[in-house]
A = this chain, B = another copy of it.
């Protein structure tokens, strides 16, 4: 049933003689499964928006459940909680005096009685990824996402049933299209259906994870949709770290002329409230196919408060990367209830950057650094580690490993690789023992380059629950270190990272005089090859075409393929590239590289 003919129950604010709606974008910070806290957070944002005269609030995709919910979508109890959370949220809005506010909020929904797929091993999906439109204490309409991303880090075809119907909510006489995230990226489906129909606003809840340069893709996309559909696009994203994903927010409003009307800062909770000039609904235009129209009044605002403009300045690249790493780490620690973190400080660049990130994420009082020198550790390593701890003001302890390592060497007669690795493993045991004693989360400090080529000791330097720089290639580790020090210097405070840790040649120091570059190609070359292989998805012939030495390329690719088993056992860490190790890149451990007939 489509109510109609009373579109003017509420009176949209009029500016410059054109109808206008005051719209809020609630960039909230959900925790997966924490319906209670997520609802409370969104209610607070709605209160704030309401007090600023907002008539419509757009929240993020799955804002009530958090995102991604992965196989929790297959649990009936979780889905029931998802549906119920939206009903309770709508009720709560009304109970707290916001019954006349229209809120578009994402949540999982199901199992639907109308859904014809019963639970079977071959058809486990019964959930939908929906947004509900809340008004008057109730849910007045629900839209299910059509395009379910099932590539990269996304598994939505596994967990959800796609929607088939389109939704237009007529709010105070203004037709607003509602779609979800991936629907905006795809030319077919709802975008195609709604294009040509005169919608005043396109409301788009998103859960769009951060990756390098993603802001440079999102704004042009939103702008393209706004101009081609001749409408204002309200794009709300969530914020926060969730396991290996970091959601950066970057919510925005773009008008039909392509003008950026508002943009949230990245990486923090934020609320945009903005007046959008809109077209009134044209009742003469027939509805697009498979489209439901739901009519709700807009709240009448007699004396709307003035709004400050909100266009957050774009952050430079390194700033974005650093903040993504900080937020990912902080949220992993906080959401999993750890009081503090502990990490080994080698004097090298990786542990220095991890420690600096930890202090930026948690404060110096919640970070413990442990220097674990061996007989092969140089004086500069010990000094650099101590200097780092002093610059950061963190708790610092020294646990020499000689007396712990030599019993292994003696009892087992270890030499060569085994003798090198046992040092790293003894350090792992020390960190885990201190974690068991004091409850710290252990951070593992490996970078993406090491993980790629397997240049680490499994159960040694790889121990830990979280890997802050696992998606940061070595060259970028150095760049971020320099950048972070420059930021400190500009602020007139102590640079966190000892310059010597940045400048000296990298070494694992597991044998006398060892340098990384003795066994690996130059890091600049290595990282360039790895980027082509892992992020760009090129294989050997195409990488060689880019100007790299064939033998080097083959060596690197072989190292990467052979290290797959180690990566499978690696810790979670924040994804900042378009292809991180983990759910982004799913490869067999057992696999040969042979062309047919060896040809």
A residues with a Cβ closer than 8 A to B are 31-37, 39, 64, 66, 68-72, 74-78, 81, 84-85, 88-89, 119, 121-125, 149-152, 155, 157-158, 182, 185-186, 241-243, 331-332, 335-336, 399, 403-404, 407-408, 411-415, 417-418, 421-422, 425-426, 428-430, 432-434, 436-437, 458-459, 463, 465, 537, 539-541, 565, 568-572, 578, 585-599
Tell whether, in the assembled complex, residue A242 and residue B588 are in contact, meaning their CB atoms are under 8 Å apart.
Answer: yes
The distance in angstroms between the C-alpha atoms of A463 and B569, with both chains bound, is: 10
Minimum distance in angstroms from A541 CB to a CB of chain B: 7
Tell whether, in the assembled complex, residue A411 and residue B429 are in contact, meaning their CB atoms are under 8 Å apart.
Answer: no
Minimum distance in angstroms from A539 CB to a CB of chain B: 4
Assess A152 versus B412: contact at CB under 8 Å? Given A459-B459, A590-B243: no
| Sampled A-B contacts (12; CB under 8 Å) | A31-B592, A33-B591, A35-B594, A69-B588, A71-B585, A331-B590, A335-B590, A399-B412, A404-B408, A412-B434, A425-B428, A568-B572
Tell whether, in the assembled complex, residue A37 and residue B594 are in contact, meaning their CB atoms are under 8 Å apart.
Answer: yes
Residue of B nearest to A91 (CB): B597
State the 4 A-B residue pairs at the shortest beta-carbon distance, nearest first: A85-B596, A418-B436, A77-B539, A34-B592
Name the residue in A78, A152, A433 with the highest tally of chain B Cβ atoms < 10 Å from its Cβ: A433
CB < 8 Å neighbour of A428 from B71, B459, B570: B459
Tell whether, in the assembled complex, residue A433 and residue B421 are in contact, meaning their CB atoms are under 8 Å apart.
Answer: yes
The distance in angstroms between the C-alpha atoms of A522 and B39, with both chains bound, is: 39
The distance in angstroms between the C-alpha atoms of A432 and B565, with both chains bound, is: 15
Name the residue in A422, A437, A596 with the highest tally of chain B Cβ atoms < 10 Å from its Cβ: A596
Residue of B nearest to A107 (CB): B596
Residue of B nearest to A34 (CB): B592
The distance in angstroms between the C-alpha atoms of A434 and B96, with both chains bound, is: 66
| Residues from chain B with Cβ under 8 Å of A585 in the complex | 71
Tell whether, in the assembled complex, residue B399 and residue A403 are in contact, meaning their CB atoms are under 8 Å apart.
Answer: no
The distance in angstroms between the C-alpha atoms of A589 and B337, with both chains bound, is: 12
Residue of B nearest to A422 (CB): B433
| Residues from chain B with Cβ under 8 Å of A594 in the complex | 33-37
CB < 8 Å neighbour of A332 from B76, B119, B243, B590: B590
| Residues from chain B with Cβ under 8 Å of A537 in the complex | 74-75, 119
The distance in angstroms between the C-alpha atoms of A597 and B37, with both chains bound, is: 8
CB < 8 Å neighbour of A465 from B412, B422, B565, B571: B565
Minimum distance in angstroms from A397 CB to a CB of chain B: 10
Tell whether, in the assembled complex, residue A399 and residue B425 are in contact, meaning their CB atoms are under 8 Å apart.
Answer: no
The distance in angstroms between the C-alpha atoms of A414 and B72, with both chains bound, is: 38
Known pairs A64-B596, A422-B433; list 6 more (Cβ under 8 Å): A33-B588, A88-B599, A332-B590, A428-B459, A458-B463, A459-B459
| Residues from chain B with Cβ under 8 Å of A331 in the complex | 590
Residue of B nearest to A569 (CB): B569
| Residues from chain B with Cβ under 8 Å of A182 in the complex | 122
Tell whether, in the assembled complex, residue A429 and residue B426 are in contact, meaning their CB atoms are under 8 Å apart.
Answer: yes
The distance in angstroms between the C-alpha atoms of A458 and B462, with both chains bound, is: 12
Assess A592 versus B33: contact at CB under 8 Å? Given A75-B537, A432-B425, A537-B75: yes
CB < 8 Å neighbour of A596 from B81, B407, B430, B570: B81
Name the residue in A33, A37, A119, A185 with the highest tally of chain B Cβ atoms < 10 Å from its Cβ: A33
Residue of B nearest to A578 (CB): B121
Assess A414 versus B428: contact at CB under 8 Å? Given A151-B124, A407-B403, A591-B33: no
| Residues from chain B with Cβ under 8 Å of A593 in the complex | 33
Residue of B nearest to A77 (CB): B539
Minimum distance in angstroms from A458 CB to a CB of chain B: 8
Minimum distance in angstroms from A107 CB to a CB of chain B: 9
The distance in angstroms between the C-alpha atoms of A186 and B117, with both chains bound, is: 13
| Residues from chain B with Cβ under 8 Å of A64 in the complex | 596
| Residues from chain B with Cβ under 8 Å of A411 in the complex | 399, 403-404
Minimum distance in angstroms from A169 CB to a CB of chain B: 23
Tell whether, in the assembled complex, residue B436 and residue A88 are in contact, meaning their CB atoms are under 8 Å apart.
Answer: no
The distance in angstroms between the C-alpha atoms of A578 and B565, with both chains bound, is: 23
Tell whether, in the assembled complex, residue A71 and residue B586 are in contact, meaning their CB atoms are under 8 Å apart.
Answer: yes
Tell whether, in the assembled complex, residue B407 and residue A186 are in contact, meaning their CB atoms are under 8 Å apart.
Answer: no
Tell whether, in the assembled complex, residue B436 and residue A417 are in contact, meaning their CB atoms are under 8 Å apart.
Answer: yes
Assess A31 versus B590: contact at CB under 8 Å? Given A408-B404, A411-B399, A432-B425: yes
CB < 8 Å neighbour of A32 from B417, B429, B592: B592
Residue of B nearest to A74 (CB): B537
Assess A243 versus B588: contact at CB under 8 Å? Given A121-B578, A158-B151: yes
The distance in angstroms between the C-alpha atoms of A411 and B88, with both chains bound, is: 55
| Residues from chain B with Cβ under 8 Å of A433 in the complex | 408, 412, 414, 418, 421-422, 425
Tell whether, in the assembled complex, residue A123 and residue B150 are in contact, meaning their CB atoms are under 8 Å apart.
Answer: no
CB < 8 Å neighbour of A122 from B149, B412, B599: B149
The distance in angstroms between the C-alpha atoms of A570 and B37, with both chains bound, is: 31
Minimum distance in angstroms from A52 CB to a CB of chain B: 26
Minimum distance in angstroms from A149 CB to a CB of chain B: 7
The distance in angstroms between the C-alpha atoms of A157 and B593, with both chains bound, is: 24
Minimum distance in angstroms from A447 CB to a CB of chain B: 18
The distance in angstroms between the C-alpha atoms of A425 and B426, with both chains bound, is: 9
| Residues from chain B with Cβ under 8 Å of A571 in the complex | 568-569
